[in-house]
């Protein structure tokens, strides 16, 4: 059962991004006023356009690396700002490192100054190409610190270290959440992640491009479930880290075939080179979230994919009509 946040006013960094925009929606629906901070490096105004008329929503177009220009009461800071897809953080390596370090310190300072609860949206990427399977929160990971993916992996590992240090040094009320392979509406078609790439190519009748032989595994979690988990952690006093994801592990090839089936596409599959340091297996142990918060994913992968396909279909139809 998801707990209802007790917060009056929240700051969401990266609030115009994929998960961030859904989080803004959920907070506003729960009665929380929201300040969305985004510099639109990878976020989209379309994701929050429907919120701009709400008296509980404020957009602050600012780089989180700067001191956050947020006035008034704040009792919750949710730090989601960062490029999150391989295509984005490989395109923006220095901004990715910066937002994970300087940006995290900036968001932590805001939380410290206002005595607010702080929740860091970290990632399963801190586990790297894991030697432990499934991954528990106690696992330290297997990350290549100088590989191309390290700009994201190590930025998030620094962000976790900073969050833990603020808790120890200043008594800041912090929490760390590690998010696994979330998907759903508001993903960009060109963001490079498997699900939007598969869906958009399938809807266009193109071949789906599967990296390697497709035997690498992922555990897909629908965005509504991830947001519910974030809100459950926010409403608690738990420090984390807490894994959020589904234990429904599937190979990338299985996911591609499911997308073909759900879209009715006859485009087929082609195999392409495997990216450097691509994790071979990825599945969270979510027993901590289940035990502490009663949180479990509610959305079956096939149902989540069907909803995401419907959203992308609307987006592509609207784009074609312009």
Cα–Cα distance list, 61 to 13, 37, 134 (Å):
10, 6, 39
What stretches of the chain adopt beta strand conformation (E)? Answer: 9-13, 33-38, 57-61, 76-79, 117-123, 174-179, 182-183, 208-211, 217-219, 221-222, 242-244, 249-251, 269-272
Name the active-site residue from 7, 89, 127, 152: 152
152 as an active site residue: the answer is yes
DSSP letter string over 75-125?
-EEEE--S--SHHHHHHSHHHHHHIIIIIHHHHHHHHHHHT-EEEEEEEGG
Q: Identify the burial level of 223 via C-beta atoms within 10 angstroms of its C-beta, where 0-12 means exposed, 13-18 middle and 19 or more buried.
A: buried
Catalytic residue positions, numbered = 152
């Amino acid at each position: 059962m998801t707990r209802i946040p007790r917060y009056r006013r929240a700051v969401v960094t990266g609030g115009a991004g994929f998960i961030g925009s859904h989080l803004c929606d959920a907070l506003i629906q729960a009665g929380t006023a929201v300040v969305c901070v985004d510099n639109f490096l990878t976020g989209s105004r379309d994701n929050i356009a429907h919120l701009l008329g709400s008296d509980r929503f404020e957009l602050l177009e600012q780089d989180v690396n700067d001191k956050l220009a947020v006035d008034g009461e704040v009792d919750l800071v949710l730090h989601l700002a960062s490029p999150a897809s391989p295509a984005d953080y490989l395109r923006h390596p220095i901004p990715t490192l910066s937002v994970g370090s300087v940006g995290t310190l900036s968001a932590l300072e805001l939380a410290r100054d206002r005595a607010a609860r702080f929740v860091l949206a970290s990632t399963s990427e801190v586990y790297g190409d894991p030697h432990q399977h499934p991954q528990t929160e106690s696992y330290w990971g297997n990350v290549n610190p100088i590989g191309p993916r390290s700009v994201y992996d190590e930025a998030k590992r620094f962000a976790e270290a900073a969050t833990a240090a603020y808790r120890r040094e200043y008594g800041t009320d912090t929490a760390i959440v590690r998010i696994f392979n979330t998907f759903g509406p508001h993903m960009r078609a060109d963001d490079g992640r498997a699900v939007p790439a598969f869906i958009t190519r399938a809807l266009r009748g193109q071949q789906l491009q599967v990296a390697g032989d497709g035997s690498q595994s992922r555990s897909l979690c629908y965005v509504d479930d991830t947001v519910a988990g974030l809100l459950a952690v926010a409403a608690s006093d738990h420090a984390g880290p807490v894994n959020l994801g589904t234990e429904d592990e599937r190979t990338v090839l299985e996911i591609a075939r499911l997308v073909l089936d759900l879209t009715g596409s006859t485009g087929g599959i082609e195999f392409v080179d495997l990216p450097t340091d691509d994790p071979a297996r990825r599945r969270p142990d979510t027993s901590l979230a289940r035990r502490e918060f009663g949180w479990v994913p509610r959305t079956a992968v096939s149902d989540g994919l069907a909803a995401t396909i419907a959203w992308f279909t609307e987006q592509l139809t609207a784009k074609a009509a312009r």
